[in-house]
Structure 1
Amino acid sequence: MFRQDRYPHRSRYTAALVLTAVGTLLAAGVQTGTAVAADRGRSAKIEATPLAAAAPARLSATKRAALLKSAAAAAAGTAQALDLGAKEKLVVKDVTQDADGTTHTRYERTYAGLPVLGGDLVVHTDGARLTVSKATRADLAVPTTTPKVSSATVRTKALAAADKARAESPEVSSAPRLVVWAGAGKPVLAWETVVGGVQHDGTPSELHVVTDAASGKQLTSFEGVQTGTGTGQYNGTVPLGTTLSGSTYQLVDGDRAGHRTYDLNQGTSGTGTLFTDDNDVWGDGTQSNRQTAGVDVAFGAAATWDYYKDVYGRNGIRNDGVAAYSRAHYGNNYVNAFWSDSCFCMTYGDGSGNANPLTALDVAAHEMSHGVTSATANLTYSGESGGLNEATSDIFAAAVEFHADLAADVPDYMVGEKIDINGDGTPLRYMDEPSKDGASRDYWSSTLGSVDVHYSSGPANHFFYLLSEGSGAKTVNGVDYDSPTYDGRPVTGIGIDNAQRIWYRALTTYMTSSTNYAGARTATLQAAADLFGAYSPTYLAVADAWAGINVGQRIALGVNVAPIGDQISGVGQEVSLQTDAYTTNSGAGLTYSATGLPDGLTLGATGLISGIPTTTGTSEVTLTVTDDTGASATASFTWRVANIYANATRVDIPDAGAAVESPITVTGRTGNASATTQVYVKIIHTYRGDLTVDLVGPSGTVYSLLNRSGGSADNVDQTFTVDASAQPIAGTWKLRVQDRASIDVGYIEQWQLIP
Structure 2
Amino acid sequence: MRTSPRLVAGVALLAAPVAAAVPSAASAAPAPTAPAPSVAAARALGLTGAHAADLKAAPDQKFTVVGVAVDRDGTSHTRMVRTFRNLPVLGGDVVVHQSRSGAYEGTSGTLRSAPSPTAPKVPASKAKKSAAAKHYKLRDDGALVVEARTADHQPHLAWRFRTEGKKADGTPSRVYTSVDALTGRVLFREETIKTDAGDGKGLYSGTVPLQLTKSGSSYQMKDPTRGGTLTGDAQNQSDFCILTFCLWRAPTNVFTSSTTHFGDGTNANRASAGVDAQYGTNETWDFYKEVFGRTGIKGDGKGSSNRVHYDNNYANAFWDDSCFCMTYGDGDGKQLAPLTALDVAAHEMTHGVTSATANLTYSGESGGLNEATSDIMAAAVEFYADNPSETGDYLVGERVVLPGFGRPALRFMDRPSKDGKSPDNWSADLKNLDVHYSSGVANHFYYLLSEGSGPKTINGVSYDSPTFDGKPVSGIGRDAATRIWYRALTTYMTSSTDYKAARAATLNAAKDLYGAGSTQYNAVAAAWTAVNVS
| TM-score, structure 2 normalization | 0.61
1:353, distance to aligned residue in structure 2 (A): 4.1
**Who is 2:174 aligned against?**
none
Query: Cα deviations across residues 221-257 of structure 1 (Å, max 9, x unaligned)?
Result: xxxxxxxx11111111111111111110100001101
* Residue 359 of structure 2 is aligned to residue 382 of structure 1: no
Query: Which one of 265, 269, 275 corresponds to residue 235 of structure 2?
Result: 265
Query: Which one of 370, 389, 401 corresponds to residue 408 of structure 1?
Result: 389
Task: Kindly indicate whether the alpha-carbon contact (under 8 Å) linking 1:401 and 1:412 is maintained by their aligned counterparts in 2.
Answer: yes
Query: Cα deviations across residues 510-548 of structure 1 (Å, max 9, x unaligned)?
Result: 000000000000000000001111011111000010011
* Residue 327 of structure 2 is aligned to residue 357 of structure 1: no
Distance 1:533 1:22 in 2: 41
Q: Which amino acid counterpart does residue 476 of structure 1 have in structure 2?
A: I
Matched pairs, number? 334
Task: Kindly indicate whether the alpha-carbon contact (under 8 Å) linking 2:407 and 2:419 is maintained by their aligned counterparts in 1.
Answer: no
**Who is 1:341 aligned against?**
321
Say which structure is richer in strand. 1
Query: Cα deviations across residues 467-488 of structure 1 (Å, max 9, x unaligned)?
Result: 0000000111111100000010
**Who is 2:104 aligned against?**
none
* Residue 475 of structure 2 is aligned to residue 505 of structure 1: no
Distance 1:451 1:22 in 2: 21
Task: Kindly indicate whether the alpha-carbon contact (under 8 Å) linking 2:354 and 2:489 is maintained by their aligned counterparts in 1.
Answer: yes
1:2, distance to aligned residue in structure 2 (A): 4.6
**Who is 2:165 aligned against?**
none
User: 1:241 is paired with a residue of what secondary structure?
Assistant: strand
**Who is 1:245 aligned against?**
215
Task: Kindly indicate whether the alpha-carbon contact (under 8 Å) linking 1:21 and 1:371 is maintained by their aligned counterparts in 2.
Answer: no
1:425, distance to aligned residue in structure 2 (A): 5.6
Q: Which amino acid counterpart does residue 400 of structure 2 have in structure 1?
A: I
Q: Which amino acid counterpart does residue 440 of structure 2 have in structure 1?
A: G
* Residue 520 of structure 2 is aligned to residue 520 of structure 1: no
Q: Which amino acid counterpart does residue 463 of structure 2 have in structure 1?
A: Y
1:423, distance to aligned residue in structure 2 (A): 3.9
Query: Which one of 432, 435, 438 corresponds to residue 453 of structure 1?
Result: 435
1:22, distance to aligned residue in structure 2 (A): 5.5
* Residue 466 of structure 2 is aligned to residue 484 of structure 1: yes
Task: Kindly indicate whether the alpha-carbon contact (under 8 Å) linking 1:21 and 1:374 is maintained by their aligned counterparts in 2.
Answer: no
* Residue 526 of structure 2 is aligned to residue 544 of structure 1: yes
**Who is 2:453 aligned against?**
471
* Residue 340 of structure 2 is aligned to residue 370 of structure 1: no
**Who is 1:315 aligned against?**
295
Query: Cα deviations across residues 665-717 of structure 1 (Å, max 9, x unaligned)?
Result: xxxxxxxxxxxxxxxxxxxxxxxxxxxxxxxxxxxxxxxxxxxxxxxxxxxxx
Query: Which one of 223, 230, 235 corresponds to residue 205 of structure 2?
Result: 235
Distance 1:514 1:232 in 2: 39
Q: Which amino acid counterpart does residue 357 of structure 2 have in structure 1?
A: T
Distance 2:252 2:368 in 1: 32
Task: Kindly indicate whether the alpha-carbon contact (under 8 Å) linking 2:252 and 2:306 is maintained by their aligned counterparts in 1.
Answer: no
**Who is 1:295 aligned against?**
275
Query: Which one of 275, 282, 306 corresponds to residue 326 of structure 1?
Result: 306
Q: Which amino acid counterpart does residue 250 of structure 2 have in structure 1?
A: G
Query: Cα deviations across residues 568-624 of structure 1 (Å, max 9, x unaligned)?
Result: xxxxxxxxxxxxxxxxxxxxxxxxxxxxxxxxxxxxxxxxxxxxxxxxxxxxxxxxx
1:315, distance to aligned residue in structure 2 (A): 1.1
Task: Kindly indicate whether the alpha-carbon contact (under 8 Å) linking 2:467 and 2:530 is maintained by their aligned counterparts in 1.
Answer: yes
Runs of 5+ consecutive residues of structure 2 not aligned to the other structure: 9-138, 141-198, 239-248
1:356, distance to aligned residue in structure 2 (A): 2.0
Map 1:86-97 to 2 at 5 A: none
User: 1:305 is paired with a residue of what secondary structure?
Assistant: helix
Task: Kindly indicate whether the alpha-carbon contact (under 8 Å) linking 2:2 and 2:319 is maintained by their aligned counterparts in 1.
Answer: no
Q: Which amino acid counterpart does residue 294 of structure 1 have in structure 2?
A: G
User: 1:239 is paired with a residue of what secondary structure?
Assistant: strand
Task: Kindly indicate whether the alpha-carbon contact (under 8 Å) linking 1:362 and 1:397 is maintained by their aligned counterparts in 2.
Answer: yes
Task: Kindly indicate whether the alpha-carbon contact (under 8 Å) linking 1:469 and 1:495 is maintained by their aligned counterparts in 2.
Answer: yes
Distance 1:407 1:492 in 2: 27
Query: Cα deviations across residues 93-143 of structure 1 (Å, max 9, x unaligned)?
Result: xxxxxxxxxxxxxxxxxxxxxxxxxxxxxxxxxxxxxxxxxxxxxxxxxxx
Query: Which one of 431, 439, 461 corresponds to residue 413 of structure 2?
Result: 431
Map 1:166-315 to 2 at 5 A: 229-268=199-238, 269-315=249-295
Distance 2:530 2:388 in 1: 32
Say which structure is richer in helix. 2
**Who is 1:533 aligned against?**
515
Task: Kindly indicate whether the alpha-carbon contact (under 8 Å) linking 1:21 and 1:378 is maintained by their aligned counterparts in 2.
Answer: no
User: 1:523 is paired with a residue of what secondary structure?
Assistant: helix
Q: Which amino acid counterpart does residue 371 of structure 1 have in structure 2?
A: G
Task: Kindly indicate whether the alpha-carbon contact (under 8 Å) linking 2:305 and 2:326 is maintained by their aligned counterparts in 1.
Answer: yes
Task: Kindly indicate whether the alpha-carbon contact (under 8 Å) linking 2:468 and 2:530 is maintained by their aligned counterparts in 1.
Answer: yes
Query: Which one of 462, 483, 505 corresponds to residue 444 of structure 2?
Result: 462
Q: Which runs of 4+ in 1 moved over 3 A?
A: 20-23, 421-425
User: 1:401 is paired with a residue of what secondary structure?
Assistant: helix
Distance 1:247 1:337 in 2: 33
Q: Which amino acid counterpart does residue 343 of structure 2 have in structure 1?
A: D
Distance 1:381 1:412 in 2: 25
Task: Kindly indicate whether the alpha-carbon contact (under 8 Å) linking 2:201 and 2:262 is maintained by their aligned counterparts in 1.
Answer: yes
Q: What is the percent sequence identity of the aligned residues?
A: 62
Distance 2:251 2:482 in 1: 33
Distance 1:440 1:303 in 2: 28
Distance 2:6 2:510 in 1: 27
**Who is 1:394 aligned against?**
375
Task: Kindly indicate whether the alpha-carbon contact (under 8 Å) linking 1:369 and 1:392 is maintained by their aligned counterparts in 2.
Answer: yes
Distance 1:261 1:498 in 2: 32
1:271, distance to aligned residue in structure 2 (A): 2.5
1:287, distance to aligned residue in structure 2 (A): 1.4
Query: Cα deviations across residues 376-424 of structure 1 (Å, max 9, x unaligned)?
Result: 0000000000000000000000000011010001100000000115544
1:3, distance to aligned residue in structure 2 (A): 3.4
1:288, distance to aligned residue in structure 2 (A): 1.5
Task: Kindly indicate whether the alpha-carbon contact (under 8 Å) linking 1:417 and 1:425 is maintained by their aligned counterparts in 2.
Answer: no
Task: Kindly indicate whether the alpha-carbon contact (under 8 Å) linking 1:325 and 1:344 is maintained by their aligned counterparts in 2.
Answer: yes
Q: Which amino acid counterpart does residue 312 of structure 1 have in structure 2?
A: F
Map 1:56-75 to 2 at 5 A: none
Task: Kindly indicate whether the alpha-carbon contact (under 8 Å) linking 2:298 and 2:352 is maintained by their aligned counterparts in 1.
Answer: yes
Task: Kindly indicate whether the alpha-carbon contact (under 8 Å) linking 2:250 and 2:310 is maintained by their aligned counterparts in 1.
Answer: no
Task: Kindly indicate whether the alpha-carbon contact (under 8 Å) linking 2:231 and 2:252 is maintained by their aligned counterparts in 1.
Answer: no
State the structure with bigger RCO (CA 8 A, min sep 6), 1 or 2. 1
C-alpha spacing 1:21/1:330, structure 2 compared with 1 (3 Å): closer
1:501, distance to aligned residue in structure 2 (A): 0.1
C-alpha spacing 1:334/1:233, structure 2 compared with 1 (3 Å): same
Query: Cα deviations across residues 177-215 of structure 1 (Å, max 9, x unaligned)?
Result: xxxxxxxxxxxxxxxxxxxxxxxxxxxxxxxxxxxxxxx
User: 1:380 is paired with a residue of what secondary structure?
Assistant: coil
**Who is 1:420 aligned against?**
401
Runs of 5+ consecutive residues of structure 1 not aligned to the other structure: 5-19, 24-57, 60-228, 553-755
